[in-house]
Amino acid sequence: DIQMTQSPSSLSASVGDRVTITCRASQSINSYLNWYLQKPGKAPNLLIYDASTLHSGVPSRFSGSGSGTDFTLTISSLQPEDFATYYCQQTYSTPFTFGPGTKVDIK
Amino acid sequence: QVQLVQSGAEVKKPGASVKVSCKASGYTFTSYAMHWVRQAPGQRLEWMGWINAGNGNSKYSQKFQGRVTISSDPSARTVYMELSSLTSEDTAVYYCARTLRPVVGVVIAGMLNHWGQGTLVTVSS
């Protein structure tokens, strides 16, 4: 199975901050990498797919980059509704594993 | 609009089985695959498997092989996930999730843009 790691595991930030989350795969996954946001008690929401494609309706302050094993999710200016947990997911090969998540909370 | 409505919470004893349903609406049911993902309390999301709702082909995570069955009833626009030989470690919220892209040939997309509301399965003696 492909193992996914994320860093940091949590971070505190203020509204307006630029936030970067890193995801690493245990082997190359080309660009088969998705990012999700999840709020407590809710299902995840797709933000980015294929490493850098912004899902329809997702604000442009979210962006993704990377290929191979190293990926980043950047929020250019954090908004109140962005405080949540972020997960990466590889879809290069089954099982489609998720990272452990990065919790973004209010400083 | 696309909607996925799952069945209600379940409480099961160890060793029992559970079957969760996911009723779809708002799109051509047989054109997409449906995945099942679970999340134990405080844990990461865990992918369980998918089914091609068009032809019934399915694929499971090795972790659940032999214990999980994902099935589809196109006439009812419903997908089912059955998990057997339950233990306390199967206590989790179970989600169905539809792929962003329709099935093309044998390619099943993995990005999931529509999710059910989740079904809590509690395994306790």
Residues of B in contact with A36 (CB under 8 A): 45, 112
φ and ψ at residue A14, rounded to 5 degrees: -105, 155
Residue B111 contacts A where some CB pair is shorter than 8 Å:
yes
pLDDT of B102: 92
pLDDT of A90: 98
Residue B40 contacts A where some CB pair is shorter than 8 Å:
no
Q: Is the peptide bond before B14 cis (omega within 30 degrees of 0)?
A: no
pLDDT digits (tens, 9 = 90+) for B68-106: 999 999 999 999 999 999 999 999 999 999 999 999 888
pLDDT of A11: 97
Interface contact B46-A98, CB threshold 8 A: yes
Nearest-CB residue to A43 (from B61, B110, B117) = B117
Locus of tokens 């505190």: A12
Q: What is the mean pLDDT of residues A18-30?
A: 98
Give, in order, the Cα–Cα distances in Å from A68 to each of A36, A71, B112: 19, 8, 21
Give the minimum alpha-carbon distance from A50 to chain B in angstroms, rounded to a whole number: 8
pLDDT of B81: 98
Interface contact A91-B110, CB threshold 8 A: yes
Residue B47 contacts A where some CB pair is shorter than 8 Å:
yes
pLDDT digits (tens, 9 = 90+) for B31-59: 999 999 999 999 999 999 999 999 999 99
Distance CA(A13)–CA(A107), nearest Å, equals 5
Residue B27 contacts A where some CB pair is shorter than 8 Å:
no
Least confident of A72-76, B22-26, B62-66: B62-66
Sign of the CA dihedral running A73, B93, A100, A80: positive
Nearest C-alpha in B relative to A88:
B45
Structure tokens at B51: 């089914």
Residues of B in contact with A32 (CB under 8 A): 110
**Nearest to residue B92, comparing CAs of B35, B48, B40?**
B40
pLDDT digits (tens, 9 = 90+) for A51-78: 999 999 999 999 999 999 999 999 999 9
Q: What 3-state DSSP class applies to A81?
A: helix
pLDDT of B28: 97
Q: Is the pLDDT of residue B107 over 90?
A: no
Distance CA(A28)–CA(B27), nearest Å, equals 34
Q: How many inter-chain contacts (A to B, CB under 8 Å) are there? A: 56
Nearest-CB residue to A100 (from B44, B62, B63) = B44
Interface contact A46-B100, CB threshold 8 A: yes
